Amino acid sequence: MKKTVSRARVIIVLIGFPLIFLIMALVTGEWRYMTWMIPPALMSCWTALFVLRKQEER
C-alpha cells in the first residue's frame, strides 16, 4: 500500500506543479514561470517514478 501512495503522490506532483505554474503564467502573462519550472519538475518526478518501478521489480 505504501508504494501505491508514494506513486500517487509523485503523479499528483507531476500533474499539479505544472498546472499551478500554468495558472500563474496565464494570470500574470509571464511565461518565464513555465520555462523555469517544467524541466526540474519533470526530472525529479520521472526519477522518482523510475526508482519506484525498480523497487517494485525486486
Distance CA 36, CA 12 (A): 19
Arithmetic mean of pLDDT, 44-52: 80
Residue 45: how many other CB atoms lie within 10 Å = 19
Is 80 exceeded by the pLDDT of residue 23?
yes
| Cβ–Cβ < 8 Å for 18, 44 | no
Q: What is the mean pLDDT of residues 9-28?
A: 84
Write down the pLDDT at residue 27.
Answer: 92
Task: Enter the pTM of the model.
Answer: 0.59
Classified as helix, coil or strand, 14 is helix
pLDDT in the model for residue 45: 78
Q: Which three cell numbers stand for residue 48?
A: 522518482
Average of pLDDT values for 23-38?
85
